[in-house]
Chains A and B, each alone.
Chain A
Amino acid sequence: MIDLIFEAFQFAFMIRAFVVGMLIAISAATLGTFLVLKRFSMIGHGLAHVAFGAVAIGLLTQQQPLLVALPIVVLVSVAILKLNETANVHADAAIGLAATFAMAFGTILASVGGGFRVELNTYLFGSILTVQSLDVILAAVFTLVLVLGVVLYYHDLFALTYDENYARVSGVKTQRLNTALAIFSGILVVLGIRLVGTVLISSFIIFPAVIAMQFGRGFKGTLIIAVLTSLVTVFLGLLGSYVYDTPSGSTIVVLNGVVFMFAYVYHKFTI
């Protein structure tokens, strides 16, 4: 097995997958902690469905699918937020509306297009073989900007997450920060598709935060534990998927599920 592990890092595609995986792990866990605690965690799931429809448009029009998906998913993410803020539609309902509409639209396109159905399937579950150098650069820039933003606006983001009204009274630009969270969520979903696919990307957002909440007493500690958990599970999951020849996204998610169960039991008996 040790030989297999060393062998894994001799392939350029595996190194790209590991680098992108680690970067997505950091950004998904960071963003996920805010989204889960704001009770907006299902936005990742909803946007993944939207991405499916957008990828179908890209394939049908023979454009680069993820480049087509990026502006569409970001726009829908902001639209979901605005629906929730201004049109009195609850977040879960707004996400459900966008997700089901986009999924249905994508399915119709797949049925009309016919020829690209197999390719569309690779976007459903992701494939580490498809990760390219451009994905590494995009993921690195995205993660750097996100982490820097969180460090610089940490106190405002914490206030926004715990008590949005109080944050507004304290002069925090809550609308701007919410919009930024929505935009980052949209970009994260699109960047994560190659690695884990549209079906499983939301688990990258939700699992690390929920696991960290079982251990962390404070907000900062929870954020750090979420990132560390995410890094470990993505690394081991990718390694496991290579060694046991299992789908990478599914392996990472199952590993997260097991860690969550242990964390939950630990929390029950210790806190």
Chain B
Amino acid sequence: MAHDVLLSVDHLTVKYGQHIAVADVSFNIHRHDFLAIIGANGSGKTTLIKTMLNLKTPQSGSITRQPNLRVGYLPQNFNLEDKSFPATVYEIVSMGLINQKVFPKRLNKNDRFLIENALQEVNIFPLKDQRIGHLSGGQQQRVLLARALVSSPDILIMDEPTSALDQSMRQQFFTLIDHLNKNHGVTIVLITHDLAAAGDYVQRVLYMDQRLMFDDTFEAFCENPQLSPFIHTHPPHPKEARDD
């Protein structure tokens, strides 16, 4: 694997029973990429990233990660509806460190420093003792982003991170992850229906329809008359968004 390739997807096929969700997909993710995966509902986007995260086993093909690759993950609208779960912002962010700990996992002074740094990075430090369910959707998304960032990931994988946010919050969110990409060297991979908002930041676009139909720069995507209408596709309402 070339030194700047963080993750390599090679002829990947993933099925649910007889249904093929991802068909013979191959691509590489390079360090510092800002990559958007787009496609219609059911096109295999979420299945692809779940397989990249080892949450799903492929039927054929392989995924090769650079050794010791640190992966941050921001799931789609996770648990945002559950207001009763008793966990503070601080506790949720501390969860991001468990992949670096060995048994018996304990938080030390340095871990607490990292957690507070991550909270400050996404501007939610004053909320650290609040119950997660009492925050707004935008604040909760920042908490999950801080959880993904606390372990200083090389690559941040996000599944429709802005689907629960309003227009101004989306812009703020993309500005924040662009800052992480440009200033902290974090490689960004996100599924989005919102290329209109993400377009200012995205460098590379993968268009999925079970197969990988397009893999090139954002500019090349915009110039493609068959695909460019996707830029203006309205994101689905959170209630309508489904796991594909």
Contact = CB atoms under 8 A, between A and B. Distances in A.
Interface of B: 53-55, 71, 73, 75, 78-79, 84-88, 90-92, 94-96, 98-99, 101, 103-105, 107, 129-131, 147
Given A163-B75, A163-B79, A168-B54, A218 B95 contact: no
A114 interface: no
B92 A156 contact: no
A158 B88 contact: no
Nearest to A162: B87
A213 B85 CA distance: 8
Given A169-B71, A217-B129, A222-B86, A156 B53 contact: no
A159 B75 contact: no
A221 B86 contact: yes
Interface of A: 37, 151-156, 158-159, 162-163, 165-172, 212-213, 216-222
Contact of A219 (B75, B86, B98): B86
Contact of B55 (A169, A171, A212): A169
Given A162-B85, A163-B79, A213-B84, 9 more contacts: A153-B105, A156-B105, A162-B79, A163-B95, A170-B96, A170-B99, A212-B86, A213-B86, A219-B91
A158 B86 CA distance: 11
9 contacts: A37-B86, A153-B105, A154-B105, A155-B107, A156-B98, A163-B95, A166-B147, A169-B54, A171-B98
A153 B101 CA distance: 11
A170 B91 contact: no
A171 B78 CA distance: 19
A217 B86 contact: yes
B86 A172 contact: no
A151 B106 CA distance: 10
A218 B91 contact: yes
B52 to A, nearest CB: 10
A222 to B, nearest CB: 4
Given A155-B105, A156-B98, A165 B87 contact: no
A91 to B, nearest CB: 16
A168 B92 contact: no
Nearest to B52: A169
Contacts of A165: 55, 75, 78
B98 A162 contact: no
Contacts of B105: 153-156
B94 A155 contact: yes
